[in-house]
Amino acid sequence: MKILFTSVGRRVELMQVFRHAANELNVDLTIIGTDITNTAPALFFCDEVRIVCRINEPEYIPQLISICKKEKVDCLIPTIDTDLLLLAENKNKFEAVETKVLISTVDKVKICRDKRFTADYFNKLGLKSPLPVDSVGKYNSGYPAFIKPKDGSSSIDAYKVISENDLKAYAKRIRDYIIQPFINGQEYTIDIFCDYEGNPVFITPRKRIVVRSGEVLKTQICQDKKIISEMKTLIADYKPCGPITVQLIRDDVTGDDYYIEINPRFGGGSPLSIKAGADSAKALIRLLNNEKLSYKDNAARNDEIYSRFDQSICVNEECAKQ
């Protein structure tokens, strides 16, 4: 079995959980990683490495297709937001060389990539979401407020603002922004894994205890029945192909859940749900082996807390040989 991960960057933990899953299942798995530079740390945890051009260059998709065809890749998995729409639009080209792409449909990916569409989508499903506007002049929902790029990720250029003057200042820095009322409360991420047809296999809510640059550093599994029920409503309409992560804030005063984001890929913290028992890496390998999977309720062990840390690896040629 061969799985190709694109733009692997720092996703070392994701490579590790797939290696562990393959070993547990006694599957001969080759992990192929791509990136634009040979110093990306996650490449050193892959079996094979391919250096490719940047995502916005015209040769990007042809290069990936060429790798998949030559190596007979079974499945391609994106890891960053900027890959998603392009891969969704070209999914049929990969299927033509018999490579599955773990990405949802184009219309659903477009919902995720523009935060204005995301809020409208949540509300259409009956799930609350802070309503966004796309100009300072249209905002009248009070302060504090939150401003961020309409297609942003990793909390880049995302700011809490406490006054109109602050809002105007930040609006000058950000191209194509949205503004929403700020919700004060506990943040949650939900790691979801579905089969190819969008049937749920795992739904794992977890509290975001400590976050750095949009990625969780400390998290606690929280098998919240209300959140799980709300996610089943989303899944029934969205029909994810493989992994998605959803983020919400539970209002400290009202207890209402306000949904703010969908990412149709493995989130940065998704290996933590995998380690807790909702093993989507194993599930995907089993799907690739044509096994049928059913939904497993409360698969991750409740209340387990995971705390992440940084490590370094030597990436120049001399020490990499040692």
- Domain ranges, ordered by start, for the chain: 2-103, 108-113+184-307, 131-179
Sign of CA dihedral 188, 182, 309, 314: positive
| Residue 62, C-beta contacts closer than 8 angstroms, at least 6 positions apart | none
Is 205 in contact with 223 (CB distance < 8 Å)? Answer: yes
According to the model, what pLDDT value does residue 177 have?
A: 87
Distance CA 199, CA 118 (A): 21
Residues of the chain predicted below pLDDT 50: none
CA-wise closest residue to 153 among 215, 241, 104, 243: 215
- Superfamily per CATH, domain 131-179: ATP-grasp fold, A domain (3.30.1490.20)
According to the model, what pLDDT value does residue 266 have?
A: 96
Report the b/e string of 86-119 with b at 16+ CB within 10 A: bbbebbebbeeeebbbbbbbeebbebbbbbbbbb
CA-wise closest residue to 176 among 120, 129, 116: 116
Q: Which CATH architecture has domain 108-113+184-307?
A: 2-Layer Sandwich (3.30)
The predicted-structure confidence for 108-167, as pLDDT tens digits, reads as follows 999 998 888 999 999 999 999 988 888 888 888 889 998 988 877 666 788 888 999 999
- Report the DSSP beta bridge partners of residue 206: 189, 221
According to the model, what pLDDT value does residue 56 have?
A: 94
**Can you give the pTM of this predicted structure?**
0.92
Four-CA torsion 171, 176, 182, 186, nearest 10 degrees: -130
According to the model, what pLDDT value does residue 320 have?
A: 55
2-103 belongs to which CATH class? Answer: alpha beta
Distance CA 4, CA 309 (A): 25
According to the model, what pLDDT value does residue 318 have?
A: 66
Helix H or strand E encompassing 187: strand 185-194
